[in-house]
Amino acid sequence: ATGGYTIKEIPIEDNAPKAPDYNTPLVFSSASLSLTEEQKSALQAKAAGLRAQLAKDSSNYTAWLALGSAYKTAGDYAQTAKIWTYLSLAWPADAIALGNLGDLYMNFIRDYPKAEASYLGAIRNNPRQTNAYRNLFQLYSDLYTPRNSAAENILKKGIQNNPEALDLYVLLARYYRDSGRTAEARAQYDMAIVIA
């Protein structure tokens, strides 16, 4: 009301993640050698249908997720990672894309720190997703051990968040058995019996 000021328009920064090019052709790698020509043609047709869906609605989460799976089946893991990383950024509360990324990094790309981060993100977004606990346990016990108690601790956390998950008790019991911790193994087997 008294003057002495100016109004300056400031452009809004667009922090939305940039979508990868969904028209990137499927490239069949050596990982897809077991696919027949008929299966490759079917996969190409499926990818074309998904691209058509994304051309109509580029925010179609399900189409993006399935397109990532098509690239994974073809053995194009780099494009798969781009798509599922985009999904994890565009839908930050989602656990599915992060779980898929965990599997991709653990079993196909073999980047264990990224696999761990992806699975932990999936658990953060959905603590009831027991697959992520199981897969992290496998990662920690067989492939990548950032600290000695990581495998045990992830199962304990999984049980805490999913007290009805029978298989997590059994995995923990087997872990204790294999570590020579018989009394703890017996206690976990007893809990599994009660739940069953």
12: amino acid identity, one letter: I
Nearest 5°: phi and psi at 149?
-95, 10
The residue among 119, 116, 113, 129 whose CA lies nearest residue 165 is 129
DSSP string across 144-170: --SSTTHHHHHHHHHHHH-TT-HHHHH
pLDDT, tens digit, 9 for 90 and up, residues 138-167: 999 998 877 678 999 999 999 999 999 999
Tokens of 69: 């799976």
Confidence of residue 128 (pLDDT cuts 50, 70, 90): very high
Q: Is the pLDDT of residue 4 over 80?
A: no
Q: Is the pLDDT of residue 127 over 90?
A: yes
pLDDT, tens digit, 9 for 90 and up, residues 54-82: 999 999 999 999 999 999 999 999 999 99
Determine the 3-state secondary structure of 15 from DSSP.
Answer: coil
Indicate the pTM of the whole model.
Answer: 0.88
Determine the 3-state secondary structure of 137 from DSSP.
Answer: helix
Q: Is the pLDDT of residue 14 over 80?
A: no
Q: Is the pLDDT of residue 119 over 90?
A: yes
Per-residue pLDDT, 13: 66
DSSP string across 49-106: HHHHHHHH-TT-HHHHHHHHHHHHHHT-HHHHHHHHHHHHHHSTT-SHHHHHHHHIII
What is the gyration radius of the CA atoms in the chain, in angstroms?
A: 22
CA 6-7-13 angle, to 5 degrees, is 140
